[in-house]
Each structure stands twice: as structure tokens, then as C-alpha cells.
Chain A
Amino acid sequence: MHKVGVIRLGILRGGLEFKQFLRQKEVVFFSLLFPVMLLFIFGTIFSKNLTPGVSFAQYFIAGMIASGLVNTGFQNLAILIPMERDFGTLKRLRGTPLSPISYFIGKAIVVALSLVLQVILLVAIGWAFFHLHMPHSPALWLRFFAILVLGSICSTVLGIAISALPKSGRGASAVISPIVIILQFFSGVFFVFTQLPHWMQQVASLFPLRWLTEGMRSVFLPDSFKSQELTHSWEVGKMFAVLGAWAIVGTILAVRSFKWSEE
């Protein structure tokens, strides 16, 4: 099939799958509103400012957006794809001329669209209720979008790659959810990263979430806060390098390990 055809079909699939996502009211509700609820809970518990003018919510939202990247991509796909295997979706698709690449593109589009919804919701709530300050320069906005794009690619391909492991949709949720929650604790989503034990920091540094979180802090926190990071800098270059490496490794793993069906 023509290359253009593969991309076009991927876009069509993405649209169709997003439509399906929006029609599953309970899925939409929990995947989009759970992070918002967390923001409310943490923002309310830790109501005093970190420093004058910088609320805990300002710190926390960086972690929540980074988590949103992991949830909408990695976690959702790692559970959804085995479910699609159970339901016969993948078997049916495999019997058609549809390229797996189109299927991947479709998934990436669904991830990107739900991520956009998620980020808009979090930022709007943060702005309305917790005095969230927006990034204050075009360079920071650019970095913000670059992290979102690279992060969602990373998250999508790693989600597809890991979806080969669980034997069933039901098993997938049991396997993946704890991994993501532990990663969130280790990566400084819920706590200040530099206050975590050294070994946790080291483990977290192997995975993308810690870098996404720090990257988002560099966007949402005043520049003075970088002195509190491990290396007293935002490590922006290193962050993009790590995410880029994971995106490449993830793509290779996804293409190699993806299975239409269990034989």
C-alpha cells in the first residue's frame, strides 16, 4: 500500500477511536477527572506557599501534567490493547489490509487528543482555583509543547511495546497500574523529588517520567527554583536526550513486540 495511504488510514482510525473514547462516558470521566481530583486534593491539603508567590499547586501541576502523559499514553494503551485483543478487534483488523503502522498512528492520535483535553483541563482548573502562573516567555511555551510532543510519542510507543506482555485485558490493569503508581512516587510527582532517598532518585532517573516531571517544573516554576534540583539546573538538554532515546528504543520495541493476536 502507498505510504500516504498508511498515514491517511492512521488518521481515520485515530478519529474513529477517539469518537469511541468520547462515547465511553465512564472512561472519559475517570481518565480525565481523576488527575483533576488529585490536583484539588493536594492543592487543598498543601495550601501554604512553597515560597512567596509560588503555591504547592504550582509545583504539583508539573507532576500532574507529566503523569497525564504517562496515563493517557503508556497506561491506557498497555491496558486497552490487550482488551482489544480479547474483544477480537485486533484479530479483525489483522484480517484486513490495514497496516500495523496505521494502527499505531491511530493510537498516537487518540493519545495526543486526550492529552490535549487533559492538559487544558488541568491548566484551566489550576488557573481558576489555585492561582497557577502560566509560563511567562515564548521560549518556555515552546519548551512546554516540545515536552508534550516528545513525551506523548515516548508514552505511546512504550505503551504499545508493553502491551505484548499481559495475557489479557483484565491482567493488564493489575500489572500496569502499580508500576505507574510506584513510578509516580519515585519520580517526584507527589513529593518534592530532591527530598526522596538517593536510590529512589537513581531508579527514577532511568525512566522518562522523572525527566518529564522535571521538564514541566522548568516550565511552571520560577527560574530561582532550579537551585533546588539535583544538579542545581533544569537539565533541559539531558531531559530531551533521555526522552529522545526512550522514543527511539520504544519505537523499536513496539514494532518488534507488537502482536495482533495470541496464537
Chain B
Amino acid sequence: MSASTNSQSRADLAISVRGLTKSYDGRVVVNGVDLDVAQGEIFALLGPNGAGKTTFVEILEGYRRRDSGEVKVLHTDPDTLTRTDHIWRTRIGIVLQSTEDGQDLTVKETVHHFAHYYPNARNPDEVIELVGLTEQANNRARNLSGGQRRRLDVALGIIGNPEILFLDEPTTGFDPQARRSFWELIRNLRAAGTTILLTTHYLDEAEALADRVGVIVAGSIIEIATPATLGGRNTAQAVISWIWNGEMKELATDNPTSDVLKIAEQCGGEIPELRITRPSLEDIYLKMISREETHA
């Protein structure tokens, strides 16, 4: 790649990471990670607990310093920020893992207060509406449920109208309905041009939201793909299962349609307990990480 095309493509990147490495006490937590996230993209980072997701994201957020590698977030190296460099912080929004601060303040007081920190803040009451806390606006944080508390965290992450939003396991503790409305909120933010980097344990969440997913195991990204193609999912064999002579039969095949027709012929019409399945994102993901972990 020539230097000019390189800088051309880099200009559209919200996040650009090369060879990022971080260890604690000689234990490597992030091991040579490369990652590009385009502006307006939703990128989901998947990985088991302790894989280095949070450390990686916190380096991008400017909370931790890396040992080596290159990091640019909105064309700025988070490690070169000084205490007085507020401009970059006005452009990013952060939703950390669960917090317990401001327990004695109401939703309304907290969101309105944080709006003062940002030059282009959104309307606080609209943000409260957006995260679905209007009814709880006058409740103190300590009286919110886990999911409501999390939505308050999200409200504080987006109040500044950020160009990049970092979400660390945002929907932990949500009921299914709250998760659906949260996903809707994230899609609306993307539609408005916000870049989103999300870590999650929920494969359905990654599938519903992400343009691309990255799987991180033991500090390394082992694959980056769209949810539909991760781990060769799109080309994986379908599995046909049915009952024949009281026995469960299974057939892995690349041509499920013609094979089903053959089986139907054998059965003389209806196939007992016929099922055709393709691997879910979760199947693929679990296979990938178990393979990696046995390697390691």
C-alpha cells in the first residue's frame, strides 16, 4: 500500500490500532492487537472474561497506558493527552462497567449536571426520554433497578453528543424488552453518525447490532468478520436430523435441499422429526474460543 492511499483511508477511521501490547507484572494482557474501525461503524468485541477486552478498550479511552504499539482515536493518541486536554474528551462518550456513584442524586439532576460538561450537549430531558427513564426522572439512583441504573450510565455516555461511543457490556442486567429498546437506541445513534465500539457477552446482541465483530482470546484478536461470516459461518455445512427406524440420524451436508428430497423418498413422504440447522453465531464463537484455549 502506498503512503498516499494509506493516509487517505486512515482519514475515515475513527479508531486505528497497530501492534497494541500491554502487560501487568509480566503477564501479557493485550498481545499485538491491530484494529481499524470506520467512522459510523458499530464494532463488537467478543471474548471470554479475562481475554483483555476491558483493558484494550480502556487503553483506547485514555484510562490506561499501553506498553507499545500505535493507537489513534479520532486521530489523537490517548497517551499524549495531558490533564488539561479537554477537547478530545468532549468528542467521546464512555459507558463503563457497572458503577455506584451518585446514589443520592436523581436521574434528572445527574443528567442535567453532566450536560454542563460538554460544549455540544444534547437536551438532557430528551436523553432521559431516549433511554426510557422519563418515568424515573425524579427517582434517586439508589432506587433504580439494575437495568434502569445501566440506562442512566448510557444516558451519561451520550449526553455530550459524542462522535465515538464506547460501551462496555452495556445491557448486563436488562430484561429482554429493555434490551430491544436499547438496541433501537444504539441503531438510532449510528444512524446519526456515531461510531460505536461495544464489548458484550451476548452473541445475539452482537448479531443484532454490529457491522463487524472481533473475537479476542488471551489478548489477541483471532478473527474479525461480519456476524454472518465469522468463523466461516456462511459456508459451514448444514446439519439435517431426522428419525429412521426409531433411531436419530444426522447428516452434515453442503446440499441440504437435494439431500432432504432423497431422504423423503426413502421415508416414502413425510420425514419424521425433520430439522435442518445451521451453526448459530454462538456455536461458531464457542468453537473458536475452545479451539484457541486448547492451543494455549
* A to B contact number (C-beta, < 8 Å): 70
Q: Is A131 an interface residue (CB 8 A)?
A: no
Closest residue of chain B to A22 (Cβ to Cβ) is: B104
Residues of A within 8 A of B (CB-CB), count: 25
Bound CA–CA A161/B61 (angstroms): 26
Of A87-95, A120-128, A226-234, which binds chain B? A87-95
Bound CA–CA A17/B89 (angstroms): 22
A16 and B105 within 8 A (CB): yes
Q: Is B86 an interface residue (CB 8 A)?
A: yes
A84 and B101 within 8 A (CB): yes
Nearest-Cβ distance from residue A261 to partner chain B, whole angstroms: 7
Q: Which residues of A contact B87 (CB under 8 A)?
A: 97
Nearest-Cβ distance from residue A222 to partner chain B, whole angstroms: 45
A95 and B94 within 8 A (CB): yes
B100 and A96 within 8 A (CB): no
Q: Is A146 an interface residue (CB 8 A)?
A: no
Other A-B pairs, 7, CB within 8 Å; known A87-B101, A97-B86, A97-B87:
A16-B109, A24-B104, A87-B99, A88-B100, A94-B63, A96-B117, A97-B117
How does the 8 Å CB contact mask read for A3-22 relative to B, with 1 for contact and 0 for none?
00000110011001001100
B86 and A99 within 8 A (CB): yes
Q: Which residues of B contact A94 (CB under 8 A)?
A: 63
Q: Which residues of B contact A198 (CB under 8 A)?
A: none
A96 and B114 within 8 A (CB): yes
A-B contact pairs, 8 of them (CB 8 A): A9-B116, A16-B109, A87-B103, A88-B96, A88-B100, A89-B102, A99-B84, A100-B83
B231-272 interface with A by 8 A CB criterion: none
- With A92-B96, A95-B63, A99-B86 already in contact, the answer to whether A20 and B105 are too (CB < 8 A) is yes
A89 and B63 within 8 A (CB): no
Q: Which residues of B contact A24 (CB under 8 A)?
A: 104
Nearest-Cβ distance from residue B167 to partner chain A, whole angstroms: 12
Task: Indicate which residue in A1, A88, A261, A263 contacts B101 across the interface (CB closer than 8 Å).
Answer: A88
Q: Which residues of B contact A96 (CB under 8 A)?
A: 89, 114, 117-118, 160
Q: Is B156 an interface residue (CB 8 A)?
A: yes
Q: Which residues of A contact B89 (CB under 8 A)?
A: 95-97
Q: Is A175 an interface residue (CB 8 A)?
A: no
Task: Indicate which residue in B86, B103, B104 contacts A1 across the interface (CB closer than 8 Å).
Answer: B86
Q: Is B39 an interface residue (CB 8 A)?
A: no
Q: Is B113 an interface residue (CB 8 A)?
A: yes
Q: Which residues of B contact A261 (CB under 8 A)?
A: 63
B61 and A87 within 8 A (CB): no
Q: Which residues of B contact A100 (CB under 8 A)?
A: 83
A19 and B100 within 8 A (CB): no
A20 and B99 within 8 A (CB): no
Bound CA–CA A204/B90 (angstroms): 46
Bound CA–CA A91/B109 (angstroms): 19
The 7 closest A-B pairs by CB, nearest first: A88-B99, A89-B101, A97-B86, A95-B94, A23-B104, A97-B89, A87-B100
B96-148 interface with A by 8 A CB criterion: 96, 98-105, 109, 113-114, 116-118, 140
Bound CA–CA A76/B156 (angstroms): 27
Bound CA–CA A100/B84 (angstroms): 8
